[in-house]
Structures are given as structure tokens and as C-alpha cells.
Structure 1
Amino acid sequence: MSAKPRILIIEPFYGGSHKQLITAVIDRLNPTDYELFTLPAKKWHWRARTSALYFSQLIPLDHQYTVLFTSSVLSLAELIGLRPDLGSCRKIVYFHENQLIYPVREVKTRDCQYGLNEILTCLVADTVLFNSHFNRTSFLDNVQPFLNIQPDFRIKNIREKVEKKCEVLYFPIRFSEFPSRLENSLRAEGEPECLHLVWPHRWEHDKNPELLAEVLIGLNERQVDFKVTICGESYQTVPQPFERLQEKLGTKLISYGALSREDYVKTLLAGDIVISTADHEFFGVAMLEATYCGCYPIAPNKLVYPEIYPKENLYNTSNALIKMLANLCRNPRVFRTRRDKFFEMFSFNPYSAEHLLPIYLDKIKGD
């Protein structure tokens, strides 16, 4: 009789970077070593609320699990309370993001349950992995302020209990799935006639589409020559600042909306500058993918970005971003020189799956 899997993998939000991470890990595991339980990447708030209850009923009682690997979407404390038989597993939690500093439109609308679930999850876990130093630091620094929201008494000394479990392990990007800038035949040496800007982010408020619209309209009003692709997942509603953008930019907006994987890669290879306007970013897979394909990254001087990119690639204000882009768009030769200098210095190795996956496997397998 064959042995049962000893690694239990749970992902309540099985899509995007969450799915990419799980896929990268299990591709290097023996299929008989693990069992995977997932829910579709929809209705995030309900996944965070109820997935522990759902999985508690789905995961078999007759098992030989010794390791449990999951993301912070799962309320691990609830799962272990419902399934104490899983408590003896070595429990590893990966934080793609954290809810303690997630930007909300109004503070009074914040649902504190999600942040509390993450704090309790850390207390139950044996190892807590964050995808960046910014993610780890911002979480730990806000544990006590978050708990202090409670009006009538104080819970103390939680950070100290959590911090000793916390490590940073960058997200493993499979750069091998993309042609590198050196292999890119779409980027001829004599081009571009005008720079191609790319914004490859989710169309949600935390990625700050308002700032992107302001910047593009500002460039257009200054009669700067450029073209732009706005891609990324758009979900059901179009951000209000995007509603008349096509009308205002005209033929400068060459692509608008989500792209197929093939077209997405082609866009990155044809792009010159990849832009982030985010108010919320703990790692930035899309930015690094675009950069690997040869786009010059420009990002806010905050969040995770100073951890990854040189200060020359960062901006502090919307006016600074407009000025930076205008200068580069008006001087393609200067732009190419700056881009070449960037790629001479920048290393993708710290973020590559080839480098990182053996570390992940050591953590999970514990061999």
C-alpha cells in the first residue's frame, strides 16, 4: 500500500501570483508527496472569511500530513481550531500582501477582521514568509497600531511573538518563460521613433489609475510624442479616470484592456517604459516581468520599489513623473543610453525561480 502525501498545500485564492507560486513549487515536487486544495480566485473577501470552514470539511481526516503550506488568505487559526488533527503539522504561511496597511478609501470602512485573521494566523504558524522586506516590515510595524484600533482595552506583546517566525523570501518569477531583452528582435537598435509606455496592472483603486490618467493627459497637453498600452485585469468596472481616456488620447492609446498571455508578452517586448502608479505594492511581479523583457521601469519612491530599483528609476510626485517621462519621450537617444546603463547594473537573479525555488523546497520539505 503506497504512503499518503505528507505535504498539504492550501490556496483559497488560486489565481494570479498565488497560483503562479503554487504551480512553481509543485512542479518541483513528486506528485505523490503533496495534496493540493484550492478555491477559484474570485470574491476575495469571502475566501478570507469562509475558506477555513470550507477546507475543514474537504481535507480528509485519514491523512499523514506533516507539513501545511498556505497563503495568508486562509485564516489558519480557524482551520486549526476546526481541525486540531492538523495542528501537529509544520505550518508555513506565505504573505503575498498584508491587510494591516491595505489602502482603503475611508478608514471608517476598514473591515478589521481580515487584519486580525492574519495576526492570528502568524501566531499559529511555525514559519511566516513574506515576499519582500517591505511586506515584512510594514506588517510587523503595524501589528500593535492595528490592535490598538480596539477602543476599550489593549492587547500587547504580539509583535514580539510573531517577529521571530518571520522571514523574507522573494516571489520566484519564471523569467525563462519570457524572451530576454537580449533576445528581443522587436526592439531594433534604431528605434523607437516615439516611446511606448506600458501600464500592466489591475484596474483597481490601489494601483492608482487616477494618477496614470493625470500623467498621460499631462503629457498629451504638453504635446509630448508617445504611445501607451494600458493592460492588466480590468474585472467588471472601468475606473472613472479611464472612462474618457481613449477620447482624450486618441491614437496615442494603442491598446486598452486585458490581453491574452501571448499578446501580453509581445507588448512587454515591444514596450520601452513600464510604469507603476501604485499606492499598494508588496512585490510587483508585472513590473519585473516587463523589466526582464526590456522595459525601463519607473515607479513610486515608496512601497517595495526602493528595495528593488535604483533611485534614478523612482519618482516622488505626479509632477516629477510627468517631467521624467516628458524628458525621456522627447529625447529617445538619451532614453536608450539610460536604459542600457540600467541593464548593465541590474540583476534579475535575486527574483528568479531558478535561484529561489530550491530555497522554497528546503523550507517546505524540510529535508
Structure 2
Amino acid sequence: MRVLLLSAYAAQSHRYWQLGLRQMFPHWQWVELELPARHFSWRVRGNPLFWSVSEREVLESGFQLLVATSMVDLATLRGLVPALASVPSLLYFHENQFEFPQDRQQHSLLEAQMVSIYSAMAADRLAFNSAYNRDSFLSGCSQLFARLPDFVPERVVDAMEEKTEVLPVPLLPVVEAQASAWRPEEKSRALRILWNARFEHDKGGEGLHRILKGLEPSGLHYQLAVTGQQFRNSPAVFSAIQRDFEHRLVQFGYMDSAADYHALQAGADIILSTALHEFQGLAVMQAVRAGCMPLVPDRLAYREMYPEHCRYQSCPDNLQQEADSAITLLLELAARPSVPIDMSAYSIEQLRPRYLRLLQSLQDSQPQPS
């Protein structure tokens, strides 16, 4: 099968998903176009303009299937490149533009929301990486339509819902690594806590800082690794964490070596999340697969992925109450034997048949030449 794969905002998780598609279907012919993950507002609006001019020959070269991320302005692109209008299409949602924390956004999300609606209407099928992602998108569309002044057609959301499917990003196989950043302990081994997310406000740095401060009086013997992508405008709280908990840290900041990062995951006991926004949470999933016990807030996609005894109280409007709940649960988890959580349902082997069924059904729906 010859497949056109479009990624208009190629963040790490999007590229990880692209690699998974290629590994699931290595005999298919994948033609991939992607744009870098920066200049969000322009990227969302500008991708059809750029591709329709600069990559027109590629786009018109003939495909049996079109797979695009939800950042792609699919409706406009199909209008500008009529050759794509008849190609069966899947729009894949890694995230949606209705559930991002908006208090500190530097750009309005309304235009991106409308682009995603038009693209969803133009696509033949929609896939979401979690039920939370799907439900919050459809709910967000309904709430937006309810605020519009007039001439809002009926059943738009229903029509989109009828062509949705929940299809997680698969976890890719990793090579086991031997080295580790964790410090060896001569006496009883310290509890090893890992926090691995982008250093951005929506990943809950303030909550992490409060949890760590609350742990100090408990007397818990622990080591800490804080790792993830860093940015020039990362919140100042991450510098405060590095300063205040230097005595606990075995790692702070991004790790260039994938092998070292996998070893860090494999050596940790607890993977802690303080996220305010997470549609699937690949970094947490990878750590849980490596043997970590998840300690996550009772919200977002975590509710459908991890058992109740791993979720602490969600209080985004009361960070101290949330931190106290997380500390209580962390101490409980530290005191009991760890029982690994089975993540095999998210493996390439388990998800490949579901992907194949969806993609094959789209390809089969393509009109055959007479």
C-alpha cells in the first residue's frame, strides 16, 4: 500500500507514532511530509499553503491512503490539491485544542480549534489516542457551537462522533541498557522517584515542587530524577527544584542518550506525574512498562489507564491539597510490595491488528477504477 503521512507539527510524540506505523507495516510504501514543532499558530494555518506549493509534485504522485495528524489543515489542503480529495483519509488526534490549559497561553486557540473541526469534517475517519482525548474534543466542539451567535448546523458533532475510534500510540520495543544514573546505597536502598515530562507549565512543575517540599519532613529515604525537554522559557519553578533538591537529584534535564534514559526508567521505583494536561502520556507509559509503579493525578487519560490505587486526588485549584494527597499515596506505595502493571495491551503486537483493520477498511472503501 502506498500511504501519504502528513505531520504538520512534528513533536517528539508525533515522530514516535510515525516510527510505530512504519514498524507495524514495514512493507507499505510510506511517503512522509512533516514540519518542525515551532511557531504553533503559523504552523497550524500555514501547512496547506506550504505543502500545496512546495510539495505539490509529491502530493499529486498517487496514494491509496492519507494519514494526517490533527494539526494538518486537511480541509484546505484537499481543496488546494484536488488530487487528494478522493484519497481515503484518517485524521489522528495526539491532542485536541479544547483541553489545553488556557490561562498562560500566548496565542488564541480558537483558530486552531476551527481548523481541527474542519479537518475532522473533511476526513473519512478519526482516531484518538485515548477516550479522554476523544470525549474532550467532542465536548469542546459542542460547547463552542453553543456559544456561536447563529447559523450553526445541527448534528455536526454527531456526524464526527460516528466516525471516531480510540487507537493509542503503541509502545515501541527498547533495547535493555545496563548503565544507570542511580546512586548505589550501602545501607537500605533509597526509593527511586522519576519525573519525566517537558519542562512546561502544563506538566505541573509547581505541583512537583510542593510534593518534594512536603516529602522532606517525612524522613523518606529517596533519590530523584527529573528529566525532559527543556526550553528557553521553561517556568522558573524547575530551576527552584534543581536548587532546592540538589541533594536528592541523580539526574536533572534532558538525556541525549536513549540507552541511558531507558536505564533510568528501568532503575526507578515510582514514576510520578503532576500533569495538568495529558492525552495519553507516553513517557509515563514507558516507565510503567519498564517496571515503575505509577503515581498520577486522578484526571485526564490516567483514569482509563491506571488503577485507582495509583491515582492521587486531583485538585488543580488547590495545589497544596493535591500535593498532600500525592505525598500520602507515595508513602503508602513505598511501604507496600510493588506489583507490576501489565502494559502489553499497548504493544505494537497487540495494537497492530486494530490499526490494520482501520487502515485496510479505509483503503477498501476507495473506488476502484473502471
Q: Give the structure-2-normalised TM-score.
A: 0.86
The 1:28/1:321 distance shift into structure 2, 3 A limit, reads closer
Residue-pair matches, total: 348
Matched letter for residue 220 of structure 1: E
Measured against aligned partners, the alpha-carbon deviations of 1:34-78 in whole angstroms (never above 9, x if no partner) come to 321112233333221211211112132642223111100101111
- Matched-pair contact (CA < 8 Å) for 1:8–1:67: yes
Q: What corresponds to 1:326 in structure 2?
A: 331
Q: What corresponds to 1:72 in structure 2?
A: 70
The 1:208/1:9 distance shift into structure 2, 3 A limit, reads same
The 1:191/1:103 distance shift into structure 2, 3 A limit, reads farther
Matched letter for residue 321 of structure 1: A
Q: What corresponds to 1:49 in structure 2?
A: 45
Task: Report runs of 4+ in structure 1 exceeding 6 Å deviation.
Answer: none
- Correspondent of 2:358 among 358, 363, 367: 363
Q: How many angstroms apart in 1 are the aligned matches of 2:239 and 2:96?
A: 30
Q: Root-mean-square deviation (CA), in Å?
A: 2.7
Matched letter for residue 226 of structure 2: I
Q: What corresponds to 1:248 in structure 2?
A: 244
Q: What corresponds to 2:277 in structure 1?
A: 280
Q: What corresponds to 1:262 in structure 2?
A: 259
1:126 aligns to 2:131 (yes or no) = no
Alignment of 1:280-319 (within 5 A): 280-316=277-313, 317-319=322-324
| SS of alignment partner, residue 266 of structure 2 | helix
- Correspondent of 1:170 among 164, 168, 171: 168
Structure 1: gaps of 5 or more residues: none
Alignment of 1:15-34 (within 5 A): 15-29=11-25, 33-34=29-30
1:147 aligns to 2:152 (yes or no) = no
Matched letter for residue 135 of structure 1: N
- Matched-pair contact (CA < 8 Å) for 1:24–1:357: no
Q: What corresponds to 2:235 in structure 1?
A: 239
- Matched-pair contact (CA < 8 Å) for 1:144–1:159: yes
Q: What corresponds to 1:218 in structure 2?
A: 214
Q: Give the structure-1-normalised TM-score.
A: 0.87
Q: How many angstroms apart in 2 are the aligned matches of 1:151 and 1:209?
A: 39
User: Identity over the aligned pairs, expressed in percent?
Assistant: 30
1:200 aligns to 2:223 (yes or no) = no
Structure 2: gaps of 5 or more residues: 314-321, 365-370
Report the more deviating stretch, 23-32 or 298-307. 23-32
Q: What corresponds to 2:368 in structure 1?
A: none
Q: What corresponds to 2:108 in structure 1?
A: 110
Q: How many angstroms apart in 1 are the aligned matches of 2:27 and 2:229?
A: 31
Measured against aligned partners, the alpha-carbon deviations of 1:279-315 in whole angstroms (never above 9, x if no partner) come to 1111111111001111110111111111010000001
Q: How many angstroms apart in 2 are the aligned matches of 1:101 and 1:36?
A: 28
The 1:70/1:108 distance shift into structure 2, 3 A limit, reads closer
Q: How many angstroms apart in 2 are the aligned matches of 1:253 and 1:78?
A: 48
